[in-house]
Chains A and B, each alone.
Chain A
Amino acid sequence: MSTASRIADRAAEIPAVEREDVSLLLVLPGLFLFAAFMFFPMLYLIGISFTNARPANLFGGGSFLTFGEATFVGLRNYVAVLTDATFWNSVGVTWLFVATSLVGKVVLGLSIALVVTNDRVRGARFLRSLLIVPMGLPAIFTITVWRGIFSSARFGLANQLLAWLGVGTVAWLNERWAAFFAYNVTEMWLAYPFMVIITVSALQDVPDELHEAAMVDGASYLSRFFHVTLPSVKRPVLFASILTAAASFQQFLIPYVFNEGGPARLNELIIVYGYREAFQFSQYGQGAAIMLIAIAFIGAFMWLNVKKGKLADGVDEA
């Protein structure tokens, strides 16, 4: 081998100028677009949260990407938010909503999935197809329909059901816990197709041999459910729960469409709280602080789950 070619080989091995790094250029436009509309506003949001921004001073002077005539107020927004009882009420209600709706969603999803995967049911595939129809409908539409269902009028669907059961009418959206209950029912209904899809495919992955073995051992339906079915579907259902809990935490449309988090701001989930603070009471600075605290909460929640639950599994396959 000649010296020249040996040197050429050596040069090819030097990783300093990886020719393939040029491929990064193919990824950059997308990354740039994403950063411009998602990442950059986040940075700007952090900036706003340290100012006394309101529409009047933020948009004065025709500035762009500066803070207009708004002034820097340090941590005052955060102090104001964190010492506000309304804020802590909102945080409490939000976590309560996450907890209750999550339990509801898992129980509902699991029950429906068990029903439509039962061996005895004919046309199970057809039923499963029908079940996920709500996914094809715009959320704003279905949520408004649920608002109509929980109408306080005597002829609202929920009240007609109560009347049929012999109970008096409820002013659903004007009472705190009735409205909270209505949020939960709606959230469960919106999420059930997702939960059913995940649970059904998990259930179908359970080997029949396990059930047969348990049956041979004389296990009843219930003990088979707890000792065979549940352990087998635990991981996928847990995974779906984490995702759907994050979605519940960020729920905006249900309270917004139902009664704007009412009555009297009692049911404002945290995103609604920040949104109203900014756009209805013109407190952009405080609204930004609230949103950032909410992001911190959700970030911590997801970080815990990533650590514990290997949420980013998809990358490992890469």
Chain B
Amino acid sequence: MSVFARIASKLAEDAWTLATTPVEAAREARYTVAAYRRGDISATQLLRTAVATTFAVLVVAVMLFPIYWIAMSAISASGGSIYAADGFRFVPKRTSIKPFVWVLGDLMIQPDTTIAVPFTDLSVVFDHPRIVFLDASDYGVESPSEFKRYFVNSVVVATVTVALGLSVIVPAAYALSRREFIMRRKILFGYVLFTQVGGGLGIAALIALYAIFVQAGLLNNKIALAAYYAATAVPFNTWLLKTYMDGIPVSYEEAALVDGAPPWRVVVEVILPLSAAGLATVTIFTFLAGWMEFVVAQLLLSSGNYTLPVGLFSLVEEYSIPWARFSAFALTFASPVMLVYLFAQRYIEGGLSFSGMEG
């Protein structure tokens, strides 16, 4: 298994651990106390464990401190600055959800939704009053952020990236896994090599990419940007899905063939369902390629079409950064990723175990 697969499986495993730890910890503490009372564990042993654990917790706390610090500043009421004049505090004096309200802005559905029926002059009108989920002015926020617009842009870009990416990745992964043809090993070798040299080459070729986009009139075009992201996602994800498909026993396919299924049905009804976990993993990685990228998006898009990472960085001013708003924006932006991990975790976990035998 490669480094990347290992990392991804760790991520999934760890999400699960995070969720179940409190229960486990309570059980273990009770068990330890009982053992100590019975005299199975000596005081020195207990002390050494306590010291080692405390030290480890300290190490983790130090490493995660920047994140904690920024999360605190997102909810602190001092607003504009994290540099409190009276020095650093672990918990802000006053808290406020204003920055998050500022990020989200008004969440409401205007009264009487009208949906035009396509190809006719008719339209369906739903007669309802204004539905308000969140009214920013209730919280004293006058001009909320452009988060929703950037969010829509990002969703468009990421969706196209996934659709386009999967449509070329899946057939290629299948062919590389199951068929023997000319150039097969060369292509595979090229993909693996590119994966490991990394996307830095993308930035190196940025000048040419920019020139080509300008000349083709594709500057500020979200779909073209998504196509670029899909292209960058091809090598790693093709290889990953291929590795996953390698784990599906050929005998399943042979059984289907013996039963008289044509090749396309073998793929649709045997291979794809059995690779559901691998497909989910690849979908997430492709999605993230479009969701997280900053450098290229920043160069190619202009303000109306900004995706979330570019929108986030546009909050930064030359000499000052509105920390509370900045971090509220960033945390809201990162949350869908966490949600995706949470929901797809079962699949990722299966997808990276590279077995396929349970199916």
Contacts and interface: CB of A to CB of B under 8 A. Distances in A.
Interface string B294-332: 110001000000001100110010000101001100100
User: Chain B contact residues (Cβ within 8 angstroms of A): what range?
Assistant: 35 or more
Nearest to B297: A140
Interface stretch (A83-91, A223-231, A310-318): A310-318
A40 B212 CA distance: 10
A31 B14 CA distance: 34
B132 interface: no
A299 to B, nearest CB: 8
A45 B208 CA distance: 5
Given A284-B211, A288-B208, A298-B200, A118 B232 contact: no
Contact of B57 (A24, A127, A145): A127
Given A59-B215, A127-B60, A148-B323, A37 B193 contact: no
Contact of A27 (B3, B176, B312): B176
A132 B205 contact: no
Contacts of A291: 204-207
Contact of A140 (B197, B215, B299, B313): B313
Interface stretch (A3-11, A95-103, A211-219, A244-252): A244-252
B193 A42 contact: no
A267 to B, nearest CB: 17
A136 interface: yes
A265 interface: no
A14 B167 CA distance: 34
B207 A48 contact: yes
B187 interface: yes
Given A127-B60, A146-B66, A315-B188, A271 B200 contact: yes
B111 interface: no
Contacts of A247: 198, 200
Contacts of A26: 171-172, 174-175, 179
A31 B172 contact: yes
A48 to B, nearest CB: 6
B3 A198 contact: yes
A137 B334 contact: yes
B203 A284 contact: no
Contacts, number: 303
A239 B216 CA distance: 41
Given A24-B182, A279-B299, A137 B56 contact: no
B21 A125 contact: yes
A8 to B, nearest CB: 21
B3 A243 contact: yes
A23 B179 contact: yes
Nearest to A295: B204
B21 A123 contact: yes
Contacts of B155: none
Contacts of B327: 145
A21 B299 CA distance: 40
A144 B17 contact: no
Contacts of A147: 321
Interface of A: 18, 20-24, 26-27, 29-31, 33-34, 36-38, 40-42, 44-45, 48, 53, 58-59, 62-65, 68, 112, 115-116, 118, 120-142, 144-149, 151, 153-157, 160, 189, 192, 194, 197-198, 201, 239-240, 243, 246-247, 249-250, 252-253, 257, 271, 274-275, 278-279, 284, 287-288, 291-292, 294-295, 298, 302, 306, 311-315, 317-318
28 contacts: A21-B182, A24-B182, A27-B176, A37-B228, A41-B205, A42-B205, A59-B215, A112-B59, A116-B59, A118-B56, A121-B55, A123-B24, A126-B17, A138-B333, A140-B313, A145-B67, A145-B69, A147-B321, A148-B82, A157-B66, A250-B198, A253-B294, A274-B204, A295-B204, A298-B200, A302-B193, A312-B189, A315-B185
Given A26-B175, A314-B2, 6 more contacts: A59-B211, A116-B60, A118-B56, A141-B334, A291-B205, A306-B193
Interface of B: 2-3, 6-7, 10-11, 13-15, 17-18, 21, 24-25, 28, 48-49, 51-53, 55-57, 59-60, 63-64, 66-67, 69-70, 82-85, 87-88, 164, 167-169, 171-172, 174-176, 179-185, 187-189, 192-194, 196-198, 200-212, 214-216, 227-228, 230-232, 234-235, 238-239, 242-243, 246, 292, 294-295, 299, 308-309, 312-313, 316, 321, 323, 326-327, 330, 333-334, 337-338, 341
